[in-house]
Structure 1
Amino acid sequence: MRPHGSGTEVRAAIIGGGMVAAIHRRAIQAAGGVVAGVLGSRPERSTEIAAGWRTTAYPDLDALLAADVDVVHVCTPNSTHSSYGTAALRAGRHLVCEKPIATSVPEAAELVGVASASGLVATVPFVYRYHPIVRELRARRLAGEFGPWHLLHGSYLQDWMLSPDAGNWRVQAEAGGRSRAFADIGSHWCDLVEFVSGERFDVLTALTSIAVPDRPEGSAESFSAAAGATPPVPVVTEDAAFVMLRTATGVPANVIVSQVSAGRRNRLWFELDGAARSVVFDQESPETAWLGSAEGATVIARGTGPLSADQQRLSYLPGGHAQGYQDCFNAFVADTYAAIAGDKPVGLPTLEDGLRSARIVDAVLDSAASGVWTSIEGTPR
C-alpha cells in the first residue's frame, strides 16, 4: 500500500454492489478518488458490477485486502458490517462503514476499539449533516440565536415498505439486525437532531409496530420482490416506531419513524423550539429552513444572505441551483479523504457516532419490549 500524503489520489475498494454502493462510487469519484475494485456477494456478481463500473472484480476478501487500496467502503447487509470493517482495519486500511456499524452494541464497541487502536480514519455516513443549511442552523445555535431549547420533535417517514409485496434483506433479523425502521432511518434523525441542537438524548420510552406481518423474502441486491416470487415469511422487525425522549439537560423530545407512510418518500423533518426562536428543517426541501420568533416567521435559503463559514464551505453552487443528497454524500467522502490526508474536518461522523447510534437503537427496542423508560447506555450525565 502506498504511503498516505504521497500526493497520489486515494484508491478505494467497495464491498457491496447495490444502490448504496453505487452512491459511494459516485462520491469517491467526486472526491477525486479512484474506485480500484469491487467485491460483490459472489464472484459472478463481482464480475458483473466491475464490468459496469469499469474496475477490477475481487474474487474474495483476501484478494481485496491484498490489493493496492487505501480505504475500504463497506456497503453490505448490516450483519456483515463489523466483520468486514474489522478485517479492513486490521489490514491497515482506512474505513467507511455503512450504518448500523454492527447489529449489537458489543460488536459496535469492539469495532470502535479496533479502529481506535489502529489510528486509522474510520467514518460512518450520517450524511444529512452535510446539507449546507443544516450547517447554517448549527452555526446559529452555537452563536446563541435560539436560546435554551424548550422542545425537540419531528419525524422520519418513508413508504417503500407500504406494499405487502415489498421484500428486502432488511426485514430479516439475521441479515439486518433486530431493528429495521429505527436502525435504518430513526438513527439518522437522532444523529441529526443531536448534531444541530447540541443536546444528547439520555432516556427514552418507545412503542414499535409491525404493519405487515408477513412479507416475501428479498435479496441483498433488491429493495422489492415480485408478488408470489417467494413464500411469505413472518416479519419480526418494526415497520414504525414512536419514541419519547429526554435529553441530559432535561429537554423533552419525540420522534415518529415509519417505512409505511404512503406518499412519504424520504421525509426527515424536525422542529427545534427555543426560548428565543424555533427552527424547522425538512430533508425533502433541503435548500431552505423555517425560522420562527415572537414577531413572526421567516424562511432562509442556502446561498443567500450572510453565510456561516460552515455553510459557505459546503455551498459550491449559487443559491437557487439545488444541492441534494448525493452532494451531501460527496462532501462526507471528501471530508473522510481529507482526514486521511491529516486534516480535521468539522462535523465528520466517525465510528464513535455509529456506536452512539447502536446504543440508542438498543434502548428503543428494550423500552418497546419492557414498556418502561430506558437509559441510553454511555450517555454522559
Structure 2
Amino acid sequence: MNSPLRAGIIGTGFMSGVHAQAVRTAGGKVTLVAGSSQASGDSFAHRIGADGAAPTAEALVESDDVDVVHICTPNNTHAGLALKAIRAGKAVVCEKPLATSVADAQALNAAADAEGTVTAVPFIYRFYPAVREARDQILSGQGGDLWLLHGSYLQDWLSADNATNWRINPELGGGSRAFGDIGVHWCDLMEFVTGHRIARLIATTSNAFPRRLTDGGMQAVRTEDGANILFETDRGASGSLVISQVSPGRKNRLWFSFDGTEASYSFDQENPGNLWIGGSRSTQVLPSGNDSLGASASAQYAFLPAGHPQGYQDCFNAFVSEVHAAVRGDRPEGLPSFADGLRSAQLTDAVITSAASRSWVDVPLPVSATATH
C-alpha cells in the first residue's frame, strides 16, 4: 500500500482536530468525518479540509474510501464503534479509554487479535524524546534496580463548580473520570518506561466539588475529581501516584520520578525539553535534541536540535506516523495497541474497586509479564 492512507475521523471535538493534523503530517489524507449530525460533520470537514462528511459513523466505517478509522467520541461509544471498524476490516485508532468496562476491552482486544487488525490507543506521552531516553537508560540497567516509582498528573480545567462537560456523567464517561481520563496515561508511561507492571494497589478518590452546575442545575458529582494511589509492582518496587483535575494553575503537569539504586530519572510534561537524571555525586539535565540524546531509540523522535522542545502535537504526529507504518506492514516498537487499552481498563477497574472497598486489590498482569517474571 504505497498510496496515502485514507483516514475517517468520527467526532468533531478538540481531539478530532489533533488526529486530523497528525494524519496530514504522517502523509495521510482525511477523506471522511462523521459528527453527531450532518451539519456538525459538514462544518468540521470544512474546517480541517476533509473531502466530506458521512451521514453516520456507521457509514464512515463501511466506506471504501477509509483505511484507518479514528474514534474520537464520548467514552461510552468507543467499544461499539471499534468493533464495527474491526469487522469492516479497517485499522482502528481509538481514543482512551478503549472501553468503559474490562469485559468490553477484552472483547475488542480478542477481536482485533483474531482479525489481525492494526489497532492503536493514543498513549502519546510515550513519544517524547526525553521519555524514550529515560526508557533506554533504565532498561539497559544504567539506573540500577528501580525501587521507588512516584509521580502525579495534575490539571485545572475543572477548577470551578460551574466547569463541566460530558465526562462528568458516568453514563457517558465511565465509572472513573480523573483516573480513567489522565491517571491511565501516567500508569501507561510508568510501565512503558520501567518495564514494571502494577501488581496490586490501594486507592482513595475524592471531590473538590460535591455538586457541579449542569444543564439541569446544580447536580451531585458521581465521578472523582482526584485520586491517590499506592501500588506495588511485579518486580518488587513500590510507588505512589496523585491525580487531580482540580489543581489551579496545573495545566497538564504529568510528572514522574523513577528512582533506582544508581540513578533517578524525572520528567515533567510541562517542561518537556529536558530529562533530569540524578546521581549520588552529580546531577544532569539532559536536553532533548537530535544533537544531545545518546540513544538512537530516543534521538529518532527528536527532529530538531536541543532548545527546540517537542510538544504534544509532535508526539501525536509521531504516534500516527507509526500507526501508518504498522498498517504498511512494519511493527514499530512501543506502539500502544488495544492490548494497552485493555491494561488501562483493568487498572481503572482496580482503582474503582479499591476506592469502594478501601482495600488492596490485585491487578491482572499481561501475559507477557507473567511469562517472564
Q: For each residue in 1:239-297, what CA deviation from the matched residue of structure 2 results, as whole angstroms up to 9, or x when unmatched? A: 00000000012211000000000100000000011000111110111110111111021
Residues of 2 paired with 1:47 and 1:359: CA distance? 37
1:198-277 correspondence to structure 2 within 5 Å: 198-217=195-214, 230-277=216-263
Number of the residue aligned with 1:79: 76
Number of the residue aligned with 1:358: 345
User: Secondary structure of 1:144's partner?
Assistant: coil
Superposition TM-score, scaled by structure 2 size: 0.96
Q: CA RMSD in A?
A: 1.1
> Is residue 278 of structure 1 aligned with residue 259 of structure 2?
no
Number of the residue aligned with 2:118: 121
> Is residue 63 of structure 1 aligned with residue 59 of structure 2?
yes
Number of the residue aligned with 2:29: 34
1:196 to 193, 196, 210: 193
1:170-185 correspondence to structure 2 within 5 Å: 170-185=167-182
Quick check: 339-348 or 38-47, which moved more? Answer: 38-47
Number of the residue aligned with 1:322: 309
Superposition TM-score, scaled by structure 1 size: 0.94
Quick check: 265-274 or 314-323, which moved more? Answer: 314-323
> Is residue 52 of structure 1 aligned with residue 47 of structure 2?
yes
Q: One-letter code of the match for 2:37?
A: R
Number of the residue aligned with 1:340: 327
Residues of 2 paired with 1:75 and 1:203: CA distance? 31
Number of the residue aligned with 1:138: 135
User: Secondary structure of 1:64's partner?
Assistant: helix
Q: One-letter code of the match for 2:330?
A: D
Residues of 2 paired with 1:106 and 1:266: CA distance? 30
Cα distance, 1:102 vs structure 2: 0.2
Residues of 2 paired with 1:139 and 1:326: CA distance? 23
Cα distance, 1:370 vs structure 2: 0.2
Cα distance, 1:306 vs structure 2: 4.9
Number of the residue aligned with 1:166: 163
User: Secondary structure of 2:41's partner?
Assistant: helix
Number of the residue aligned with 2:361: 374
| 2:231/2:239 contact within 8 Å kept | yes
> Is residue 103 of structure 1 aligned with residue 105 of structure 2?
no
Quick check: 72-81 or 288-297, which moved more? Answer: 288-297
Number of the residue aligned with 2:18: 23
Residues of 2 paired with 1:318 and 1:72: CA distance? 34
| 2:286/2:293 contact within 8 Å kept | no
Would the alpha carbon gap of residues 230 and 51 (structure 1) be closer, same or farther in structure 2, given more than 3 Å must change?
farther
Cα distance, 1:66 vs structure 2: 3.1
| 2:202/2:230 contact within 8 Å kept | yes
Residues of 2 paired with 1:230 and 1:44: CA distance? 26
Q: One-letter code of the match for 2:225?
A: D
Residues of 2 paired with 1:66 and 1:356: CA distance? 28
| 2:95/2:121 contact within 8 Å kept | yes
Quick check: 318-327 or 196-205, which moved more? Answer: 318-327
User: Secondary structure of 1:261's partner?
Assistant: coil
User: Secondary structure of 1:232's partner?
Assistant: strand
Q: One-letter code of the match for 1:129?
A: R
User: Secondary structure of 2:300's partner?
Assistant: helix
Moved over 2 A (4+): 304-307, 377-381
Cα distance, 1:141 vs structure 2: 1.1
Residues of 1 paired with 2:61 and 2:104: CA distance? 21
Cα distance, 1:188 vs structure 2: 0.3
Cα distance, 1:363 vs structure 2: 0.3
2:6 to 11, 22, 42: 11
Quick check: 84-93 or 314-323, which moved more? Answer: 314-323
User: Secondary structure of 1:314's partner?
Assistant: coil
Residues of 2 paired with 1:136 and 1:378: CA distance? 25
Q: One-letter code of the match for 1:248?
A: D
Residues of 2 paired with 1:263 and 1:343: CA distance? 41
- Percent identity over the alignment? 47
Q: For each residue in 1:109-159, what CA deviation from the matched residue of structure 2 results, as whole angstroms up to 9, or x when unmatched? A: 011111111111000000000001111111111221000012000100001
Residues of 2 paired with 1:61 and 1:198: CA distance? 37
